[in-house]
Amino acid sequence: MNVNYDVNEIIKQFNFSGSFIKAEPYGFGHINSTFCVYFKNEDCSIHRYILQRINTNVFKSPEDLMENIENVTAHLKMKIMASGGDPNRETLIIVTTKDGKSFYRSETGDCFRAYVFIENARTYQLAKNPKHLYNFGKAVGRFQQLLSDFPVEKLHETIPDFHNTVKRYETFLKSVEKDVKGRAIEVKDEIKFVMDRADDTKVLLNLLKENKLPLRVTHNDTKFNNVMIDDITGEGICIIDLDTVMPGLSLYDFGDSIRSGAATAEEDDTDLSKVGISLELFEEFTRGFIETAGKSLTEMEIKLLPFSAKLLTFECGMRFLTDYLDGDVYFKIHREKHNLERARNQFKMVADIETKFKQMEDIVGKVCQSYGL
C-alpha cells in the first residue's frame, strides 16, 4: 500500500482480536483512506475489521467527529435493540484503542479509527435492481426515524456549512474569479450552467430561516454506496460513513440519495449519453422513504422532495467544478480532469431532472396517496 505510515504499528494500537494477516485498500471513498484488515482466530476462521485514516484536512477536529459518532451509534444501538433488531449488523460498532479511546493519533499526527466489519453485506456503486432502491429508501427513512428523538444540540458541526448551497455558490464564484490554474477558459459552458441556476441555491435555506422547514438530525451524505445491502435479503441494513451526521434538513438526505441511487450511470462516467435519472428508481426510493419516514415529514418537506433531488445533484456538480478550478485539492482524483468529468456528469443529471420534474412530482403525489398522506 502506498502510505506514509506503518500499518502494522497502527493496528497494534486497537483492541482487535486474533492474529493479524493483512490489510488492503477498501471502498471508493473520496475523503478518508479506508482499509480492510484481516485477522485469524484460534480456530483458523477469518474475521475482518475496517480501519480508516481520518482526513484531518477535511475534518479539522477528529475529537468532535468521533464524539458525534460515539453518541449517534450508542443511540442507534439502543433503539435497534429496543425494536428487536441486531445492532451488530444495523449500526457501526466502534473498535476502541488500547487506552479505551474511539480513535488513535499517531506521533506524526495521523488519526485512525476502526469498526467491526459487517459480513454478508456489501455496498454498491449503482443499484442492481429496483428493489435495492426501495430498501435503500427504507433504510434512509428509518435512520431519520431512529434519530428523531436525538437532541440536535449535542451534535458538533463537523464540516461547517456542508450543505449551505448559498455559500457553496459564493465559494464557486471566488474560484472562478481567482482561476488559480487557468482552467476557467475551458469550462465556460459549465460556469454558465451554474450561474443560470444561482436562485436555486437559496430556496431551502430561506425556508429554514422562515421556520417553514424543520431542523433535524440528518446524515448529510446519503450516497447509495453508504448503505450496506444484505447479501441474502437485499435489505438496506446499515447506514455507514457517519462523518457528516449533523443538524440538517431531511431534504438533504432524500436529495443526495436520489442523486446517487437513481442515477443511470456512475458519477464519473464520461459517456454523458448514459447519464440521467431513472424514474423507476426514483419511485422505488420514494416509496421506501415515505414508508418509514413519511408520517414524520411536513407538507412542505414532501412538496420539495423532487426539488431536493435537483438541488443536491446541482450542489455536488458545483463542488466538483469548484475543486477542478482550485486545482483538485479536495476530492481524490484518479486521472487528469477527473473532477471536471464528475461535474459534467452531475450537470447532465440536473438537466435530465429538469425535463422530468413534473413526472417526479406526480410520483411523489401517487406514493404519498398510497400511504394515506
- Show the low-confidence residues of the chain (pLDDT under 50): 1-2
Quick one: pLDDT at residue 104?
A: 96
Quick one: pLDDT at residue 29?
A: 64
Out of 3.20.20.70, 3.90.1170.40, 3.90.1200.10, 2.60.40.2300, select the CATH number for domain 130-370: 3.90.1200.10
Fold of 7-119: Phosphorylase Kinase; domain 1 (3.30.200)
Quick one: pLDDT at residue 311?
A: 98
Quick one: pLDDT at residue 1?
A: 38
Quick one: pLDDT at residue 221?
A: 92
**Burial status of residue 100 (CB atoms within 10 A of its CB: 0-12, 13-18, 19 or more):** exposed
Quick one: pLDDT at residue 9?
A: 86
Quick one: pLDDT at residue 194?
A: 98
Decide whether 7-119 matches 130-370 in CATH topology. no
Q: Could you state, in order of their start, the residue ranges of all structural domains in the chain?
A: 7-119, 130-370
